[in-house]
Every structure is written in structure tokens, then in C-alpha cells.
A and B are shown apart, each in its own frame.
Chain A
Amino acid sequence: MRFPAAAVLAVLCGLIAVTTTAHATQSGRTPLPEIAIAQPGQCVEPKEVMRREHMTLLRHQRDRTLREGIRTKKYSLNECIACHASRETGSVIGAGGFCQGCHDYAAVKPDCWDCHQPKPGRKTAVKAQP
């Protein structure tokens, strides 16, 4: 028994539409990701640059920080988190998280959070002694 190709395609499209709208807002015919900005203001680069290049910026920064010990704040992941953590959950991941909102939409699973703390927090645990 053979299904008509057009019918299969229609069912598939319907399925995709249902799964994407679960995580995305509908704007006209195109679903858009939910991006919650906790502290609206100026990012370190224009929005268009950050959308395309944030992973490159972070990758270069991580190598500079770890390998050379350069701890400038501009592209630091901890600075991203400090600004972008959700007011409700205090995190950039999870429901309403700034990072996860977009990555779920784009079906990208970054492994940053396997090691990095997604919440801004303490600077140091043990006080320096005089």
C-alpha cells in the first residue's frame, strides 16, 4: 500500500509545526524563539554581531583566559551570565533562560553548562589572608 507523497509531506509539516510552536512564539507565519532579556541595555557588541558571532567570541575568550590567563571582562562568559540571568530563576538556562530559549529553537545543545555555572554567584569562597 502506498501513501501519496503530498499527504506524507503535509503530515510531516504539521508535526514540525506543532513541535516548534511548543517552544516558540508565533509571529505571522514564522515561529520565533522566546528571548527573555532580563536587563535591557547595550550588549558588548551590536545585536546582529552577537547573534552570529557569540560562540566565536566566547571560544577565543576561553582560550585566552585559560591558556594565557587574560581575564578581560568584555567577552567573559561570567559577564554574559551576570547580565543575562533570568530574574525569576537566576539562571541563563531552564525555563525562560536567555541561552536555552534560543538554543532550543535552533536545536543546538551547547555543552557549556556541563562544567560552567549558569548562575552568577560568589567571587571567591576563601578570603585572602593579610
Chain B
Amino acid sequence: MNERGDIGNNDNRGNNARDGNNGRRGFIAAAATLTTLATLTLAPGIRLIQIAAARPEEEAASAAVRWGLLIDVTRCQTGCEDCVAACGKENGLGEVARPRTDAQWIRKIDLKEHATGRALSLPMMCQHCAHPPCVDVCPTGASFKRADGIVLVDRHICIGCRYCMMACPYKARSFVHEPHTDQNPEVPRGQGCVEGCTLCVHRIDRGETPACVAACAAAGHAAMLFGDLNDPASAISQRIREVRTTVARADLALDPGVRYEGL
């Protein structure tokens, strides 16, 4: 009885496996076609895959995607603050004009190598770590990582304790000291909470790129490349496969989603 049962099961398993194989072959063929389509360039800078990245609004963010940024430091211009300005405009920051306490989601850093005099300029913001220290230390669970790798603050449960600000090695978070009234309806923010770069999550959910990336492209520098690190066909994945890139504070092993080229 047992033997017969086992044999029956084996047969079934064999059939399933065969069906599965067919299904898998079909899927792989379809995926290959899609990948070919996706890598086709419609116009300079536009790829099909970026249009396809907008998921339906009723679908949750998926761990199959990991959003990332590649910043080409060799193309980033010293003195250009377009990304910072675009971030402030998009997210309604900086209206209080108190530079020491105003929220700062992205900032420009100028570096100079003493030995050679080589000067660099680069934007620094939330690095959207795979192992974010801000999430580890948050006592209320307000600081969290979304399935697609974006690290966010849930202001509904943030108590403004600022542990995450101390834990972040990139100084990427800010505390909102002042009451605000002129928020972008898509970017709620207010007094008493900690906040940081959201990678323009409201734009990503619509299938757009973050405001800083759009502004950098508009300025003609195109030093920022946004895309899905999990998709081997995406422009960002291809680029980080081809050239040597680094992450800030690699020694901490936080696996940031933001990478730098030419640093």
C-alpha cells in the first residue's frame, strides 16, 4: 500500500515536474523577450524597463525590486546644488530658512585629496541600507525599511526621540523643529518628527525617478543613475557590473542602496 502510494506520488511528481519545466521554459522565453525589449532604448535616457517599473497602485511594493542610486562622482560638478534645490522643492523643505536646524535630506560634500589636490564633489543622503542602523535602534518601529529597500520614517508613530539620527553614520536624518503649513500634499511632514530622504517614494510609486535624479539630468550632468539593483538588465545593474563602484563607509557592512563611482 505504502509502496503503491509512493509510486503514485512519484508519478505525479514526475508529471508536475514535466509541466513545471514546460511552464518554466515558457516563462524563461517570455522573460528573455521582455529583457530584450527592456534594453531597447526608445530615446536617449528612456528605456522600456523604466516605464514598466510603475506597478499598479493596488499592488504592494515587492522585495523582488531593490531601488538604488549610482552617483558618478566624476560627473558631479563642484558648486552645483541642483539636486539639493530640487529635493527641497519636491518635498517642501527649507521654508523656515534657519540653516542650522532646517531639515536636510540631501547635501553636497566637497572633498579634496591632500596628496594630489584632486577635488571631488558629491551628494550625500540616506543611503537606504539593507541593514539600516536607524531601524535597529528605533524604539517604536517608526523607522522601517519598505519591501523594495526604501528606508522611511512612519511619522504616525515617530516620537521624535532622535536615536536614529545618532545611529546613522551618514548624518542623513533631520529633526523637524518648526511647525509647517505648506507641505506638498504628497509629502506630509511636520513638527516633532525625524525625517530623511525617501528616495521620492511618491514619485517612484508613480514610475518616476527621484527629484534629485531628474534635476541632475536636467542640468545636463547626468551624474545620478536610479534603478532596480535586483534586475540584472537595469541600467544601474549593468553599470555597477562594468565599472568599479564603492559605497560610503563600506567598513560598516550596511549594504547601502546608494553607490558611488569614481570616489
A residues near B (Cβ < 8 Å) are 62, 64, 66-73, 78, 81, 114-117, 119-130
Tell me whether B185 and A70 are in contact (CB under 8 A): no
- Which residue in A64, A122, A126 is a CB contact (below 8 Å) of B185? A122
Known contacts: A62-B156, A120-B185, A128-B208. The answer to whether A67 contacts B144 by CB under 8 A is yes
Task: Give CA–CA (A71, B92) in the complex, Å.
Answer: 20
Per-position 1/0 for B159-196, Cβ under 8 A of A: 00000000000000000000110111110111111000
Known contacts: A114-B179, A122-B184. The answer to whether A71 contacts B205 by CB under 8 A is yes
Chain B residues with Cβ below 8 Å from A119 are 185
Known contacts: A62-B156, A73-B57, A125-B211. The answer to whether A130 contacts B46 by CB under 8 A is yes
Task: Give CA–CA (A98, B28) in the complex, Å.
Answer: 54
Query: B-side binding surface: helix, strand, loop or mixed?
Result: loop
Known contacts: A116-B183, A116-B188, A124-B186. The answer to whether A66 contacts B60 by CB under 8 A is no
- Which residue in B46, B90, B180, B189 is a CB contact (below 8 Å) of A125? B90
B58 lies within 8 A of chain A by Cβ: yes
Tell me whether B60 and A117 are in contact (CB under 8 A): no
B218 lies within 8 A of chain A by Cβ: yes
B255 lies within 8 A of chain A by Cβ: no
Task: Give CA–CA (A86, B45) in the complex, Å.
Answer: 42
B263 lies within 8 A of chain A by Cβ: no
Query: A-side binding surface: helix, strand, loop or mixed?
Result: loop
Tell me whether A126 and B86 are in contact (CB under 8 A): yes
Q: Which residue of chain A lies nearest to B153 when distances are taken between CB atoms in the complex?
A: A66
The 10 closest A-B pairs by CB, nearest first: A115-B190, A69-B61, A68-B60, A126-B211, A115-B188, A114-B190, A128-B208, A129-B217, A117-B185, A129-B214
Chain B residues with Cβ below 8 Å from A123 are 185-186
Chain B residues with Cβ below 8 Å from A62 are 156
Chain B residues with Cβ below 8 Å from A68 are 60-61, 146-147
Task: Give CA–CA (A129, B146) in the complex, Å.
Answer: 25
- Which residue in A66, A124, A127 is a CB contact (below 8 Å) of B152? A66
Tell me whether B201 and A69 are in contact (CB under 8 A): yes
Beyond contacts A70-B60, A117-B182: 15 other A-B pairs, Cβ-Cβ < 8 A, are A64-B60, A68-B147, A69-B61, A71-B57, A73-B57, A81-B185, A116-B185, A117-B188, A122-B185, A125-B211, A126-B214, A126-B215, A128-B214, A129-B209, A130-B43
